[in-house]
Structure 1
């Protein structure tokens, strides 16, 4: 089934330079810059505010949930307006990055301003205000950035390369982030015993430095990608209201699969990193090992980038995601049933499990572009920003749930645990953290597996018919 207008609602703009390596490198720097901030929020925000600043877990959880009220307006509106603003010098999405990039770099640092010596009310206010400001700045950059994947090129193979570059950018961003544990975890002598403790006061200067790097990355993104896939002249007449646009989401199984996978990723997979960090600190007594653990998350990207294009050409994106995940699930189940007492063995098993996720890590963003194309094919209109923002909104709901649930679950499963008090690192508390650190990614990748196996519904035949009807470049999807 083609769209109701008989032709694509987007055209390839011929006066732009051809799509090529410059776009791929530029797109790499987008997620590199974003993840210099996002990864740190994922890994350290809860530890910083709950363990170091001293905010109660229940209060921190409430802040994370309440900020989603702001997101309920913020995300859809940024996506909606990015679809409808008048292009500036032929660009509809890039200008948002030029405004949001500096804001994100600055606010990311001030989130970690040391308020530990201030009143409890000030601590709560700084936490809430800085997180809302960070959330807005991140949305202002990330939604237009993600939408660019659909408008830089209409080729599925090109979009796969962009998605791969984005994933590599996110992975490479973990190289500077991996240095943070070596700085903020320091050995202290407590009651005659050397223990690893988190030094939260060092986070602010670290984030100022990363903010400068992020700002340079956003400028490299802006100056090296081109928006080529433009709407046709009657696009404005065909654009429905925001409510109609969002209603189509519920009939788009491909996008629903992406939402399930993306939300599972933010609730379970990303939040597991905090638990992994705690496991290394309290079970293996070396929080600094998290630097090495962070690096293993890059390994599947290094391996996958060499294989991803020929594998996708032969099997299609969906199978390349699904099949390797079986290995990941088997390893996590084994680690849960047979606890690992040696830190080196634990890191090696985690690394192998992570290797099998290369398909999901490298292709998930390209699948969103396919879901947006699918919506145009079935519904007859194109709303890249609105649909992408719906996906990002659900991911951020997942981030809020994980930020709220992790400290609450720790308080429930290990009620006496204090990360800066080694006397509370009892066997029961340590076992609770270890089990949660395995269960979270097991559930997360299990949901990703189900989403692509049972919910995602674009077959190879549908994909080729869709690309032909939309007038896009035909290649293997």
Structure 2
């Protein structure tokens, strides 16, 4: 007998989603810029390592999924113990990612690559059981829409809150003690928030619906993927969409980092990035909030398809808008960029809800085709795709950063070498020769009287050239366009699991 979906379960489940996205956005948004701009590591080396980590995920994700799927049900249920374990491991590795490592450069590369792999594995242990639990609290498509809509809506706040916490509170207040320490504080805070919100799901949520369950082995995983044509169709279109949106969104921090007053003089460091997320996430929130009402008038499959076109429109706007921005008009520029991003966030919101419902439907279809229920294995595909997409997106951005030849950023303490007076620590762009590029005359004069005076270079106008930024924006916003287009074509041609066709399959499963 199906258990009725309770509001309390939906709320506690959704709050856990905020914890998941907080960790993911912290890494996807800030880790690469931290490594390349502040730890001065080569972006191509690091991003190639991220892709290789994705290859390792292709091996270990099914193994972990099998372990989770075959785990025995406890008093807490089948999935909640794994969620608790994953949250603890994820918090530890998330903190470790942002620990500054000095000394030998080879040691730094090894440390951050290993920590990234371990964080990715902890994310698998956390994400697979979390999303696999959805069919145990929501049986019908309507209930799954309701649960996934709120989970994605609240989860979407994770990206906004993480970015706001970093750029509006931690970075401005901790910059005087150094950005390396500021990033570590961000890692610790994000780990704590992730752990607290995920544990709300573990403590207060219930697995109300008992699903048929059979143990599976690694050979059967490949069998599931081979026999489930809708799983393959879902994997392709979701991967292409996620790579494109991740390229544009997750690393947009680079645009703001290099477009502040001491960069290309287009955006203000005091509020622009936070304003972007406020406006962009408002569009996403509206789409998610009214998703259920919209699906009553517009078929879910059409809304999902429209999300690809929404992305393409936003990619074009985000690339073109920088050509009309005026230097020094910080508020106007910030609003125009944020409005362009709102199209992308709205499309992402619709796609996220649709894809979550789709993967639950694909799990039903897998049971219909094979007679075996393996939610953890099916949901591991979604987790793997998300991580692989992030790695590929970082690789493309790494290439873009190298081609754009962007300077790194250093924490420079301003101490008068004659009087010993300390003026504070500032963040300055540093070129390949080790020169500090300064556009502010007052900072330049103070720097001349420090031990770094012979490395100070006063730059008239923008420190980062418009050509360099245009190259970076081309990688961020033009490359994703064909990916979104191919994703839509793949979806239309290969995915058919909706409407009457899906309902017939679901009815057949319920009769067994």
TM-score of the aligned structures, taking structure 2 as reference length: 0.79
8 Å CA contact retained: 1:27, 1:166: yes
Q: Could you tell me which residue of structure 1 aligns to residue 418 of structure 2?
A: none
Partner of 2:159: 174
Aligned to 1:393: 384
Contact 2:280/2:342, CA 8 A, preserved across alignment: yes
Residue 443 (structure 2) pairs with residue 467 (structure 1): no
CA contact (8 A) 1:184 1:202 kept: yes
8 Å CA contact 1:321, 1:359 repeated in 2? yes
SS at match of 1:229: coil
Structure-2 residue corresponding to 1:143: 128
Contact (CA 8 Å) 2:281, 2:342: kept in 1 or not? no
Once the two structures are TM-superposed, the CA of residue 104 in structure 1 deviates from its matched residue by: 1.1
- Superposed CA offset, 1:96-150 (max 9, x none): 01112122112211210112x4321331122022112211211111111011112
Distance 1:205 1:103 in 2: 18
**Separation in 2 of the partners of 1:68 and 1:330?**
29
Which ranges in structure 2 are unaligned for 5 or more consecutive residues? 260-265, 326-332, 410-428, 431-436, 438-458
How far has the Cα of 1:182 moved from its partner?
2.6
Q: What is the total number of aligned residue pairs between the two structures?
A: 447
- Matching residue of 2:328: none
Task: Give distance in 1, aligned partners of 2:114 and 2:65.
Answer: 23
The alpha carbon displacement at 1:67 in A equals 2.3
What does residue 320 of structure 1 align with? 303
Q: Confirm or deny: 8 A CA contact 2:19 2:198 kept in the other structure.
A: yes
Retained in 2: the 8 A contact 1:33–1:215? Answer: yes
Pair 279,231 (structure 1): closer, same or farther in 2 beyond 3 Å: closer
CA, structure 1 residues 392+409, in 2 after alignment: closer, same or farther (shift >3 Å)? same
Asked if 2 retains the 8 angstrom alpha-carbon contact of 1:25 and 1:224, the reply is no
In structure 2, the residue matched to 1:415 is 405
Query: Structure 1's 435 and 323: CA in aligned 2 closer, same or farther, altered over 3 A?
Result: same
Query: What are the Cα deviations for residues 67-105 of structure 1, in whole angstroms up to 9, with x where unaligned?
Result: 234323321112112221211116111110111212211
**Matched residue, 1:248:** 224
Structure 1 range deviating more: 201-210 or 292-301 = 292-301
Residue 137 (structure 2) aligns with: 152
Question: What corresponds to 2:351 in structure 1?
Answer: 360
2: CA distance, partners of 1:285 / 1:106:
34
SS in 2 for 1:366: helix
> How do 1:338-353 residues align onto structure 2 when only pairs under 5 Å count?
339-342=322-325, 343=333, 344-353=335-344
3-state SS in 2 of match to 1:154 = coil
Structure 1 residue 159 displacement after superposition = 0.9
Match of residue 437, structure 1, among 472, 476, 481? 476
Structure 1 residue matching 2:210: 3-state secondary structure: strand
> What are the within-5 Å matches in structure 2 for residues 8-407 of structure 1?
12=1, 18-89=4-75, 91-115=77-101, 117-177=102-162, 178-183=164-169, 199-232=179-212, 235-236=213-214, 241-283=217-259, 284-288=266-270, 289-323=272-306, 325-333=308-316, 336=319, 339-342=322-325, 343=333, 344-407=335-398
- TM-score computed with the length of structure 1 as normaliser: 0.85
Q: Is the Cα contact below 8 Å between 1:266 and 1:398 reproduced in 2?
A: yes
Check whether the contact 2:311–2:347 (CA below 8 A) recurs between aligned residues: yes
Deviation at 1:246, TM superposition (A): 2.3
Aligned partners of 1:75 and 1:393 also within 8 Å? yes
CA contact (8 A) 1:297 1:351 kept: yes
- Relative contact order, higher structure (CA 8 A, sep 6+): 1
**Deviation digits for residues 312-346 of structure 1 (CA, Å, limit 9, x no counterpart):** 23333211222354344234335546753322322
Structure-2 separation of matches of 1:69 and 1:302: 33
User: Deviations 1:195-247 (Å, cap 9, x if unpaired)?
Assistant: xxx92330111221222222211211012322233244xx54xx554323323
Q: Distance between the aligned counterparts of 1:327 and 1:400, measured in 2? A: 23
Task: Tell me the CA shift for residue 443 of structure 1.
Answer: 4.0
**1:173 partner SS:** helix
CA contact (8 A) 2:22 2:190 kept: yes
Deviations 1:372-416 (A, max 9, x none): 11111222221111121133223322222222331123213x135
Q: 1:153 to 1:298 in 2, by over 3 A?
A: same
Change over 3 Å in CA distance of 1:403–1:339 after alignment to 2: closer
Larger radius of gyration: 2
Counterpart Cα distance in 1 of 2:277 and 2:241: 16
* 8 Å Cα contact 1:324-1:359 kept in structure 2: yes
State the distance in 1 between where 2:363 and 2:342 align: 33
Looking at structure 2, the residues matched to 61 and 324 of structure 1 have their Cα atoms a distance apart, in angstroms, of 28
Per-residue deviation at 1:285?
A: 4.4
